[in-house]
């Protein structure tokens, strides 16, 4: 059974918080989709394609910046990157928090505002992600698992805040909903209140993560981990704190002019990246494919799935609340999968990267399963849904306005399985790729590089999956997925 060494609970919690701060911007933007779409009222083309554009633009730019961050991460102070990127994200989210009261002249203007925030967030998140995992990986697989768990936990919190806010406001209009008089203005008000709440809380959380990181860098455990992970262990690395209490730079004892970047010969940096990438090729491909499948369908496709009950017998099944609920179900499943990796008996696959790869490939079956659910798709003149027409052309089955999986519970079960498998497999991939105990070829001074590389493949999978979502949407609607 794999042996995962425990760490100081306080450090574990800091790693948890830092992991949460990494994916908080992405999770918040995705979970705010109902609010963004509501603000695009009057521009149906933007509403129908918004989710795919949000995912694709964020992940593509995030992948590019993550690639640059991976190449340069060993030549910079990761702690400085963490402080600067988290601070800038806090500023961006404070701006989005007040967006409900900003009178944008048109839906297009709001669309460009959201895209600008998305691109800025994507650009700085790549640097934040590599820096965080370069730091936490030095504390071992348990710290990496804590960071991965934190990334998912924050999305659960965000989705809960959204759902409770929307539910509280919607309950006040229960009689209107039952009478079919739930207006667009009412739905917009619900989304606006929800946006202010969770973006405001997100800003506060980012600021608190800065405080947690400030505590971590002052601990002896942090100093010891940085020394152990340096490229030349025989050299003594000591913190050089300026008299004014400013930034701390890691310097070689005896030569205050040499910083940590000089410990790495630039001529071998590329070769070492290639070496470590090949060393963990199964884990890297497995984690990339996990997110390719997930982002191909969530949320661009899943956000268009509604309850099979029409009209809804309860306010909990109305389109707005059903959509918020689906974010919570996926996020909770994702967090549960990552949290399970904290138990030694459930991480037996750390030594079996081949099995991790096979499990990742098996998740391809999720795509047709989601397409069988109650997706709101165009209906042909003969009353047959688009997916029914596609399947009937293959002599498989013909659906008459009824989804193949005609059950809300069945859909939620598939969604939970998607989230659970995403969190579990991806966490095992990160833990396996960065562990010298389970990856005997990995050197101690290559751990931070392995961590940044596996994160690059994670984000690369997210980017590819987001682009594939356009194709999946095109199959569903038989339309131009970039415009309709």
* pLDDT band of 352, cuts 50, 70, 90: very high
Whether 183 shows a pLDDT value over 60: the answer reads no
The helix (H) or strand (E) run that includes residue 240 is strand 237-241
Sign of CA dihedral 258, 68, 26, 199: positive
Tens of pLDDT, residue by residue over 405-441, are: 999 999 999 999 999 999 999 999 999 998 888 778 8
Q: What percent of the chain has pLDDT over 70?
A: 80
Per-residue confidence (pLDDT) for residue 185, from 0 to 100: 53
Per-residue confidence (pLDDT) for residue 213, from 0 to 100: 94
Question: How far, in Å, CA of 50 to CA of 65, rounded?
Answer: 23
Question: Checking DSSP bridges between strand 237-241 and strand 255-259, what pairing results, if any?
Answer: unpaired
Task: State the Cα torsion 103-107-113-115 to the nearest 10°.
Answer: 160
In terms of Cα–Cα distance, which of 17, 81, 12 is closest to 221?
12
Per-residue confidence (pLDDT) for residue 397, from 0 to 100: 35
The helix-helix angle for 78-97 and 9-31 (nearest 10°) equals: 40
Tens of pLDDT, residue by residue over 252-267, are: 333 444 444 444 444 4
Q: Is the pTM of this model over 0.75?
A: no
Q: How far is CA 335 from CA 307, 342, 420, in A?
A: 24, 12, 7
Question: How far, in Å, CA of 399 to CA of 310, rounded?
Answer: 17
Whether 236 shows a pLDDT value over 50: the answer reads no
* pLDDT band of 227, cuts 50, 70, 90: confident
Q: Which residue has the tokens 């025989």?
A: 234
Output the DSSP codes for 116-144.
HHHHHHHHHHHHHHHHHHHHHGGG-HHHH
Residue 43: other Cβ atoms inside 10 A: 16
Mean pLDDT score across all residues of the chain: 80
Average pLDDT over residues 268-273: 80
Whether 251 shows a pLDDT value over 50: the answer reads no
Lowest mean pLDDT among 9-18, 157-166, 190-199, 229-238: 229-238
Question: Checking DSSP bridges between strand 255-259 and strand 248-252, what pairing results, if any?
Answer: antiparallel
Question: How far, in Å, CA of 192 to CA of 412, rounded?
Answer: 26
Tokens of 84: 């600067």
Whether 315 shows a pLDDT value over 50: the answer reads yes
* pLDDT band of 361, cuts 50, 70, 90: very high
Average pLDDT over residues 287-300: 92
Per-residue confidence (pLDDT) for residue 291, from 0 to 100: 95
Per-residue confidence (pLDDT) for residue 179, from 0 to 100: 58
Output the DSSP codes for 439-453.
-TTS-GGGHHHHHHH
Q: Please state which architecture CATH assigns to domain 9-477.
A: Up-down Bundle (1.20)
Q: Where are the domains of the chain?
A: 9-477
Per-residue confidence (pLDDT) for residue 470, from 0 to 100: 81
Per-residue confidence (pLDDT) for residue 387, from 0 to 100: 40
Whether 385 shows a pLDDT value over 70: the answer reads no
Residue 357 has what DSSP assignment?
H
Q: Would you say 215 and 226 are in contact if contact means Cβ atoms under 8 Å apart?
A: no
Distance, CA of 152 to chain centre = 7
């Amino acid at each position: 059974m794999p042996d995962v060494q425990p760490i100081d609970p306080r450090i574990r919690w800091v790693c948890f918080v830092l992991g949460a701060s990494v994916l908080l911007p992405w999770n918040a933007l995705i979970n705010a989709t109902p609010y963004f779409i509501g603000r695009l009222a009057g521009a149906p083309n933007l509403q129908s394609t918004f989710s795919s554009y949000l995912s694709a633009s964020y992940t593509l730019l995030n992948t590019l910046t993550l690639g640059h961050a991976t190449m340069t991460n060993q030549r910079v102070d990761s702690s400085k990157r963490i402080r600067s990127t988290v601070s800038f994200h806090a500023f961006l989210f404070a701006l989005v928090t007040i967006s409900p009261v900003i009178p944008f002249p048109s839906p297009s203007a709001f669309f460009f505002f959201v895209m600008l925030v998305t691109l800025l967030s994507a650009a700085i998140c790549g640097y934040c992600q590599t820096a965080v995992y370069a730091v936490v990986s030095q504390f071992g697989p348990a710290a990496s698992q804590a960071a991965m768990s934190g990334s998912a936990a924050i999305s659960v919190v965000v989705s809960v805040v959204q759902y409770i806010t929307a539910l509280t406001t919607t309950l006040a209009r229960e009689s209107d909903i039952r009478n079919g008089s739930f207006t667009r203005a009412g739905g917009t008000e619900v989304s606006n209140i929800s946006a202010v709440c969770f973006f405001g809380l997100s800003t506060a959380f980012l600021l608190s993560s800065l405080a947690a990181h400030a505590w971590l860098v002052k601990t002896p455990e942090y100093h010891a981990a940085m020394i152990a992970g340096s490229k030349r262990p025989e050299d003594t690395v000591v913190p050089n704190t300026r008299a004014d209490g400013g930034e701390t730079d890691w310097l070689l004892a005896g030569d205050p002019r040499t910083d940590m970047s000089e410990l790495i010969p630039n001529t071998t940096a590329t070769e070492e990246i290639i070496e470590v990438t090949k060393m963990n090729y199964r884990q890297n491909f497995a984690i990339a494919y996990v997110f390719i499948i997930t982002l191909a369908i969530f949320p661009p496709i899943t956000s268009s799935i509604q309850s099979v009950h029409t009209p809804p017998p309860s306010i909990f099944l109305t389109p707005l609340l059903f959509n918020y609920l689906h974010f919570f179900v996926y996020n909770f499943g994702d967090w549960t999968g990552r949290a399970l990796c904290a138990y030694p008996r459930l991480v037996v696959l750390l030594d079996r990267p081949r099995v991790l790869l096979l499990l990742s490939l098996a998740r391809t079956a999720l795509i047709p399963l989601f397409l069988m659910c109650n997706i709101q798709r165009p209906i042909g003149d003969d009353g047959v849904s688009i997916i029914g027409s596609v399947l009937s052309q293959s002599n498989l089955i013909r659906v008459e306005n009824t989804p193949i999986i005609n059950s809300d519970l069945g859909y939620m079960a598939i969604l939970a399985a998607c989230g659970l498998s995403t969190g579990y497999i991806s966490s095992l991939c990160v833990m396996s790729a960065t562990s010298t105990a389970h990856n005997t070829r990995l050197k101690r001074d290559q751990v931070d590089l392995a961590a940044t590389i596996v994160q690059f493949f994670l984000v690369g999978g997210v980017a590819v999956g987001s682009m594939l979502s356009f194709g999946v949407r095109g199959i569903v609607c038989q339309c131009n997925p970039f415009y309709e």
